[in-house]
A and B are shown apart, each in its own frame.
Chain A
Amino acid sequence: MFPQLIDTRPWRRAVDDGLNWVVRHWGGTFESAAYPLLMLLKAIENLLIATPWWLIIGLLTGIAWLATRRWQLPAVVLGALLFLGVMDLWKDAMTTMALMIAATLTAIILSIPVGVWMSRSLRMRQGITPVLDLMQTLPSFVYLIPTVMIFGPGKIPALIATIVYAAPPLVRLTDLGLRSVDPAVMEASRAFGTNPRQRLLGVQIPLALPTILAGINQTTMMALSMVVIASMIGAGGLGYQVLQGIGRLEVSRGLFAGLGIVALAIIFDRITQAFGRQLQARIGMQEAR
C-alpha cells in the first residue's frame, strides 16, 4: 500500500463545498446562461418532430444523392430511415438527432475559432492540447454529476456533456488542417500582399475544408455515441429506450433502439464523408495523394 503522506479529506471537502456554494449562488445564473442552448435544442427538436416523416426521408435521401450522385448511398439512407419508422422509433430518433445536431452545431461554432487560434500560436497549441486530452479521456460521469448539480437534470447537462465529449476532434482537425496547407501556396498568397484575414478565409480554410469536414464527421459520431449516457440525465430519445431495455431486462427493446442509433450513425457518417470526398475531388487532392 502506498503510505498516506497527507490527509486528502480536507481537499475533497473543499471541492464538494465549493461546488455546493457555486450551485447555491450561481445556479440560476448558469441556468439562464445556458438557456440559448436549450432554445436551440428545443427548436431543432420541435422542427424535426413537426416535419412529416416522408419529408425528412425525402430530404435526407436527396442530400445523400447530392453528396454522391449515385444510387447506393441514397438507398442505404432510405433503408436506415425506414427501419427507424417501421420499428416505431421515429420520434425517439428525431429527439436523438436533435441532440446530435445541436451539439454538433455548437461544437462547430466553438471549435473552429479555437482551432484557428491554435494553428497560429505554438503557445496556444501547447496550452489547449492537454485540455482537449482531458475532455476526451475524463470519464463523462465525472463532469456529468457537477453539471447536473448546477443545471438540474434535463436536456442542458446532456447537451453540455455531449459537446464536451464531441468537440475535441474538431478542434484538433481544424488546427491540423490549417497548419498542413501547402506553405508554397501560403507564401505565394503573402507575396501578393494579402493580410492574415484574407489568407485565412481565401486560402487556408478552403484548402483545410476536407480536414475540417472530417472533424465534423468525427464530432457527429462522438455525439451519437454519447446518447445513452445523455439519456440517463434526461435527454430522452433512443438512448432512453436502450436504458429502459437494460432496466427492465427487455433485450429486444435495447437491441432495436441500439440498432436505431447505429442507423442514425450510418446516415450521418456516410453523408458527411461523401461531402468530404466531393470537396477533396474539387480541390484536386485525390491526384496529389
Chain B
Amino acid sequence: MSDPIVKTDLAIAMRGVTKIFGPDPEGALALLRAGKSKAEVQAETNHVVGLDNVSLDIAAGQIFVVMGLSGSGKSTLIRHVNRLIEPTAGEIIVHGTDVLKMSLNELRAYRRTKVAMVFQKFGLLPHRSVIDNVAYGLEVRGVGRKERLETAAKWIETVGLAGYENSRTRQLSGGQQQRVGLARALSMDSDIILMDEAFSALDPLIRSGMQDQLITLQKSLNKTILFITHDFDEALKIGDRIAVLKDGALQQEGKPEDIVLRPANEHIEEFVREVNKARAIHVRSILERGVTEPCEQSVSMDACCEDVLPLFAEHQWVGVVDGEGKQIGRVTAKQVIKALARHTPGVG
C-alpha cells in the first residue's frame, strides 16, 4: 500500500448512479428524487433502492475499496461497472467511454477486453480443468488455443497453483479456487479488475495470504482494482482509497487514514471503533514534517503505528524516511498515542 501514485487520470467515473429494483423503477425514482428515504420508498411502492445517487471517481492504478454491510448496495455498485446490472439513472464513464451508451456488441467487446471480474462464489466452470478455467476469458475473446494456454499457465504459476493445471475445480480448496478465479481475471490483462467480495468466503489465514498476494501483484501490475468488501480491516489493509456505502448511499470516501482519523458520521465511527488503529494509521499521516537532526532509529513513511511503537521503548524520537531513505520528519510516542486515542469514546 503505497502513497497514491501521482497519476490522476480517471479510470472509472460514476455520476449520480441510482438503481431501483422493481417493476416500475421510474415511479419510485420520482419519489426518491422528491426527497423520500429508502425505507419510505420501499414502504410506499415496494421497490428496493439498491443505490441512491452514488458518485465516485476512481483513478487509474489504484486499489479502490467499496466497504459496506450486507444490503448496502456494494455488490450492486460493482455490477454497474461492467453493466451486469443496468442503472435506473446516472452515468458510468470508463476510460472516457460511456458504458451505458454501448450497444450489446460493444458491451460484449468491452467485457472481453477492458474489465475482468472475480466473484465471491468463484463462478468457476466445474466441467473444465483449472487451466481451461483460467483460459476461459481468453477463449471467449477468441485467442488461439496455444496462446491462451500459455498465458493461463503463466498466471497459474503466478498465483501459486502450478501442478494443478489439470485438476477439476471442485477438487480444490476454497482458497485455491479463488486463486483460479484471480488467475482467470489476471490472464485477461485488462486495465480494470472488479473484485466482488473476492476473499470473503475464505478462512481468515488464507484470506490474509490472498490479500498480501494481491498487494504484491498490484505493485508490478498497476491495474485499477475495484474491490468490494464488508470487512473494514481488509479495506484498510489493501485500499489506496476507501468508499463506505450504507443503504445504497455513499457515506464517506477518502484515504484509509482519513476514514480512521476523521470518520464522517456515527455509522463509520462504529466500524472505526472495532478496528486495530495501530495497524491502520501510518506514520506518514501523523509525522512532524521538516528537516530535523538525524535520529538513531528511523522507519519508512509507509510503516504503521504498530511498527514504531516498540521503538519508543529505547528512543524518544523516531525518524521517518521516504522511499529513497531520506529523512523527511520524525514522530514521538506522544503523537502516536494521540492518533490512536482520537475518537475513542470518553477520550478526545
Question: Residues of A at under 8 Å CB distance from B?
Answer: 182, 184-185, 187-195, 198, 202-203, 206-207, 282-285, 287-288
Contact = CB atoms under 8 A, between A and B. Distances in A.
Contacts of B136: 189, 192
A191 B117 contact: yes
Given A207-B127, A284-B126, A187 B140 contact: no
What range describes how many residues of B lie at the interface?
20 to 34
A188 B124 contact: yes
B124 A192 contact: no
Contact of A184 (B111, B123, B137): B123
Contacts, number: 72
A198 B140 contact: yes
A32 to B, nearest CB: 43
B117 A195 contact: no
Contacts of A207: 125-127
A193 B170 contact: no
Given A188-B117, A190-B84, A193-B141, A282 B111 contact: no
Given A192-B112, A198-B140, A206 B123 contact: no
Given A184-B121, A185-B124, A192 B140 contact: yes
Given A193-B140, A203-B125, A284-B171, A187 B84 contact: yes
Given A184-B121, A188-B123, A193 B168 contact: no
A123 to B, nearest CB: 16
Given A207-B127, A283-B127, A191 B170 contact: no
A194 B140 contact: yes
B108 interface: yes
Nearest to A195: B108
A194 B110 CA distance: 11
12 contacts: A185-B125, A188-B119, A188-B123, A191-B194, A192-B116, A192-B117, A192-B136, A193-B110, A193-B113, A193-B137, A202-B125, A207-B127
Contacts of A198: 140
Contacts of B113: 193
A193 B123 contact: no
A193 B111 contact: yes
B106 to A, nearest CB: 10
Given A190-B84, A191-B117, A192-B137, A288 B124 contact: no
A288 B123 contact: no
Given A184-B119, A184-B121, A284-B171, A191 B82 contact: yes
Contacts of B137: 192-193
B64 interface: no
Interface string B125-144: 11100000000110011000
Contact of A193 (B108, B119, B121, B194): B108
Interface in B93-131: 107-113, 115-117, 119, 121-127
Contacts of B170: 284, 287-288
B118 to A, nearest CB: 9
